[in-house]
Amino acid sequence: MGEHSRVYPPDLQPLLQSNLAALTDIDFVHESEVTIVRDSDADEWLKQSVIRRLGERHRERRAPYVRQLEAVEERIRALAA
């Protein structure tokens, strides 16, 4: 195997893939929503307020997936030790 090859235990691979897919979807939706707000005709102060709220919601939606990935990373480190 090459130095950069990664082999995860069978139960971790689907978990990693599903978490990364969920994060990708969340990020895509967030960027799309921010673009819609930025391109709107609303006043700048309102745009900034909505973008801040979208950012808060984005962080809240990502948090559980990030925590799961951190837990998986810890498992991988423990297996490699």
Residue 57 within any structural domain of the chain: yes
Q: What is the pTM of this model?
A: 0.82
Residue 6 within any structural domain of the chain: no
Number of domains in the chain: 1
- Helical segments of the chain, H only: 12-38, 44-80
Residue 5 within any structural domain of the chain: no
Ramachandran bin of 25, using left for φ above 0, alpha for ψ from -120 to 50, beta for the remaining angles = alpha
Residue 4 within any structural domain of the chain: no
Residue pair 26/65 in contact (Cβ under 8 Å)? The answer is yes
How many CB atoms lie under 10 A from the CB of residue 8? 15
Domain of 29 in residue numbering reads as: 12-80
User: In this predicted model, what pLDDT tens digit does every residue of 1-50 receive, in sequence order?
Assistant: 445 556 667 788 888 999 999 999 999 999 999 999 999 999 999 999 99
CA distance 53 to 47: 10
